[in-house]
Structure 1
Amino acid sequence: MSPRTLGWLAVATGLPLAGLACAAFVGLGFAREAAPWLISASATGLVFAPPMLAAGVAPRHRRPWILALGLWTWSFALLSLLPIYFPGERADAVATGVALFGLGLAVDPLARAIASWLPPEGNLARPTLSEARPIAELAAPPASLLGDDQIALPFEGEGRRISIPVVFSEGGRTLEAEMTFDTGATYTTLPRAALEKLGASPTEASPVMKLHTANGEREAQLVLLDGVWLGDLQLRGVAVAVCDLCGSGETTGLLGLNVSGAFNMNIDADRREVVFSSRVSFDRHLDIQPFLDVDAWTRQLPGGRIEVGVEAHNASDRQVETATVAVTCGATTWGVELGAVPALGDGKSKQKLPIHEPCERYEIGLERAHW
C-alpha cells in the first residue's frame, strides 16, 4: 500500500473527531436560535477550513498526511477549548448537533450516548446560563432575645381572637386602627371608608383575590399601601384587601398572615401582651403575587435539552427586587430566578432544566419574592 493511500486512510480516521467538533458548534448555534444556513456554514468553515488550508499549501505528496494531522489536532483543540468559552454546554451542544445530523430520524438516545462519552469538562470557566435547581425549604431561624427588633403590644379579647393596635401609612397619611389578629386570614383587610381616609381607594384595575378567613372564603379587591407599623416595627409594601364586613364593633379589620407572618410572635397571657420579633427573612410573595403577572414557556431541543423562559409584568408602583418562579413537572419543582422587575415594568429570564422525563404540561407559580 502506497504512502499516499495510507495518508488518505489517516484522513478517514480523523473525520469522526472532526464531525463531533462540527456537531458541537452546530448545537451551540441552534441553541442560540441562529439562522440554519449560517450555523452550517460557520461550523463547517471553523472545523474544516484550517486543516484544508494547511494541506493546500503543503507539497502534493504530503497533503493527505497534513490534512489528517490537521483534522486530528484542530478538532481535538476545538473540543478541548470549547468549555472555556461555553462552560457547561459541550455535552448538550454535541447531543443537539448529532441529533440534527440525523435529519429527523429517532437518534436522540444515540446522540445523548455519544455526548456522554466525552470526558468531563472540569472547572475551566463559569457558565453563562445556570441550571435551575430543586427549591429547598429555608431553615427556620433560631429564637432571639428581646431587643431592638422586637416590640410588645397590648392585646384585647379572649379565646381564639384577640385585637392589637396597628398603624397604616400611605402617601404621607396615617391611620391607626384596632385590628383582629386572625391566623386564618391570608390578607390584611380594611373597610373602604378607612382606605379612603388614606387616599388609597381601589380602582377598576385593582387586582381581585379570594380571601381565606376564619369565616370562610370571599372575593375582594386589593390595594398596595406604603407600610404597616406594629409599634416601632415597619413592614413596607403591604397588600390590603377591601372588606367592609371583616371588622367588628371593636375592630376595624383583620390582621392577616401577609403582615403577621413577617414576625415571630409570643403571646404573654399573664401580661396580656403579644411580643413581635422581626424575622431574619420573610417571603413577600403574598403581597407581590397579585400585582405581578407571570407567564412562561418551555421548548425541547434535539438531544434532550429543555429550556424554560419566564416573563413578568409588574403592575405596582414598587420595584420587585427578587422573584423565584416555580416550574413543576410531576413531583419535581425547579426554581427559575427572575431577578428585579421595575415598577410598572417587565422582567424576563431564561434557564435550562435538568434532563428529565418530558411533561405534557408544566405548571408555574410565584414561589418567593421580595420588594
Structure 2
Amino acid sequence: MPPNIFSRILWPDAPPAPVPKAADAVRVGLLGASRISPRAVIGPAKALASVIVHGVAARDGKKAEAFAKKHGIPKWYTGYEAMLNDPEIDAVYIALPNGHHAEWTLKAIHAGKHVLLEKPSASNATESAAILAATQTQDAKNARIVVLENFHNLFHPALHRARDLVRAGAVGNVHSASVRLCFPNIFGKDDIRFDYALGGGINMDLGTYACSALRFMLDAEPLRVTSATPTTLVRPDVDGEMAATLDFPDGVAASYVVSMVRPWISFVCSGLEGMKPMLEIKGDKGTLSLSVFVLPQLLHKLTVVPTTTTTITADDATQHVAETVYGEGGNTTYWYSLRAFAARIRGAEEPEPQYWIPLEWSVKNQRCVDMVYEKAGLRVRGEA
C-alpha cells in the first residue's frame, strides 16, 4: 500500500506539503493555461525546493490573470511572446495542442529558455529532429538549453523496478511484449485530440505512451511495424483507436492497442482489472505485468509469474513477484520528472534512480509513432 492510502484514493495526485525554495530554484512559466498544468507542474513544484512556478501566459490576458490568481502564480502575460521575452523566466512548460509543440519549443529555445514539453515532442519526427538540431547550435546560449519531453511515467521507480527485473532475467529470454491503454470517450469527438490540423489522433496521444513504454522496457528500437489498424476513425486520417504490432531485435514481437472512444458499457462489463492500463513482458521463464504503468501512483501492481513448467533453482532470477513500488512518499510521476528537469538545468546531481530522456530518444519515439501511421495508411501528422 502507498503512504497515506486514504488521501491517495481521494486525491491521487495530491502533492506533499509545500517546501521552502532554494535560492537558485528554476523559475518556470506556463506557456498556456492548460488543464494538465496543475497536475504536471503546479502541484509537484510546491513540494520541490528546486522549482518555482513564476508565471502563466495565454493568448487571452484575462484568462491568464484568472488562472494565475486561482493557483497563486505571481505573474501573467497576454500572449506567449511576452513570457519568452521576460528575463525572470528560466524555463517554460509547454502543453499546447500537439501541432504547436515544435513552433513554440523552437521559439523558446531561441529566446534562451529551457523547455519541459508535453508529449508528443512534435507533429512528426522531422519536426522533432528540428528541435534537437536547434539545441545543438554553436550559439553558446542555445547549446546550454535543456529540453525534456515529459514522459513522466518513465521517471517513476515502479517503471525502473520493472525494467530491472527484466534485465535481471526474471522472465528469462524475452519473446514478446504488449501494452493496453484504452479509455472511454471522456472528452468527446470534437476535442482537439481528434483535430488533424492540431496534430490529433489517439496514436499521437496514448500511442506515444505505448511506443515509449515498449522501447523503455525492451531497451531497443522497433525494426519495423508489421501491422497497424485504425479500428475506429473519428474523421478522415484521425484515429480514435489504433492497434499495432512491431518487430524488435532478437525476434521480440510487440503489440499495443490504444483507444479513447470505447463506449462506457464496455468498461463496466470488463470490470476494474479490464479497465486498467497494462504493460506485459513475456519470456521463456515467465511473464511480468505492470498495471497502471502510465500513472503508477494510482494503486499499480507489479507481478512476475513464472511459467508453470519452469523449474526454479535457488540461483535462478525467475521467481514469483507481487509488489508495489511507490518510492519517496508516494510522489507522483510528474514530481519525479520535474525534479529531474530542474536538476539538469541547475547542474545538480539527481538523486537515485538517475534517469534522463535525451532529445535523440524523443526523435526516435516520434519516428515509431510515424511508422505506425504510415503502416496504417494514414497521413503522418503535420503533412500538407
| Fold in common (TM above 0.5) | no
Normalised by the size of structure 2, how large is the TM-score? 0.22
For CA contacts below 8 A with separation 6 or more, give which structure has more relative contact order. Answer: 2
The answer to which structure has the higher helix fraction is 2
Normalised by the size of structure 1, how large is the TM-score? 0.22
Larger radius of gyration: 1
The answer to which structure has the higher strand fraction is 1
